[in-house]
Amino acid sequence: MVARACALIPGYKELYERFEKRMHTSGRSPSTLKNYSRYISQISLHFKCLPTELEDDQIEDYLHDLLRNSSPSESYFKHTVYGLRFLFRLEGLKDKRIALPSIQKEKKLPVVLSRQEIKAMIKQATLLKHRLLVSLLYGCGLRCGEVRSILLKDIDLDRGTLLVRQGKGNKDRYVPVGKLLVRGIQHYIEAENPHTWLFNGNDFDSRYSQKGVQWAVKELSKKAGIKKDINVHTLRHSYATHLLEDGLDIVSIKELLGHACIETTMVYLHVAQSGRRKPFSPLDTLYNQL
């Protein structure tokens, strides 16, 4: 898409080079650059001109058509708006940036697994690699990219810590590794003899692939008979919720998760079964009154 726009739209190549450079210097991830540039290129090819040359009503009509064919929460619409917003700020077009709609974030509570469901998933893992993978995702609250990027040199089994490098927002953080995980990692390294990465694979940089991690989690949840709609991030949600239920304070959980602001972590207060008295259903006490 980008190459086509560079070839067909006069001036687009120079615009994209500035855009790419600013994305890199502002610390945006390669996936964000890929998504933004794809949809910026799409709107350029649609109108056969640079996005910066579009009138406000053209942009409005284009976004309106997107909304008619998809919901505002879908990635196509979001990445188009975010990409244009970044581009207009880069080019000093504040008026156009103001005209773009704001996107309301969906206020959905996270899906959380019970402790029994976590144990069932781990039990179903016949491969040592998958057993350790799920244990780390849950036991350290890691994101998919973070578990794939664990370097052997960042595991300190003596201190029981793991250095998570360049998590979301390009921030490093330490997370504790419990005694069970220390033994699990030791056993895995002795058996598998990994090199560089804890989880080696066939990806371009020899890491275990993202699809491989996703497949393992889905497959183990299916084998465990879990009916909830879960993904890799569900294990991270479960980690945070269970820590809160076990009495860890919300600020400490924020630091362990690597969240930039406490508001992001506060969502777990709505799903954790904690407090002065554990929440219950009045139906359980209804017949005790008779």
Catalytic site includes residue 268: yes
Q: To 10 degrees, what angle do helices 12-25 and 75-90 make?
A: 90
From CA 200, how far away is CA 129, in angstroms rounded? 10
CB-hemisphere CA count at 13 Å for 110?
24
Phi-psi category of residue 169: left, alpha or beta, with phi > 0 → left and psi -120 to 50 → alpha? left
Active-site residue identified among 131, 148, 236, 254: 236
Catalytic one among 22, 78, 223, 233? 233
Answer yes or no: are the C-beta atoms of 54 and 100 closer than 8 Å: no
User: Could you confirm whether 236 is annotated as catalytic?
Assistant: yes
Count other Cβ atoms within 10 Å, centred on residue 33: 18
Residue 156 has phi, psi (to 5 degrees) of -110, 95
Please tell me which residue in 96, 130, 254, 259 is annotated as part of the active site.
259
Q: Which of 96, 130, 131, 143 is catalytic?
A: 143
CB distance 188 to 128 below 8 Å = yes
Catalytic residue among 12, 36, 239, 268: 268
> Catalytic site residue 143?
yes
Query: Is residue 233 annotated as a catalytic residue, yes or no?
Result: yes
Pairing, β 173-176 against β 155-156: unpaired
Could you tell me whether strands 161-164 and 155-156 are parallel, antiparallel, or unpaired per DSSP bridges?
A: antiparallel
Could you confirm whether 276 is annotated as catalytic? no
Catalytic residue among 4, 18, 168, 218: 168
Phi, psi of 262 (to 5 degrees): -65, -25
Buried b (16+ CB within 10 A) or exposed e, 196-226: ebbbebeeeeebbeeebbeebbeebbeebeb
Q: Is 270 annotated as catalytic?
A: no
Give the long-range contacts of residues 88-94, CB within 8 A, separation 24 or more.
Answer: 88/52, 90/18, 90/19, 90/22, 91/15, 91/52, 93/52
Catalytic residues: 143, 168, 233, 236, 259, 268
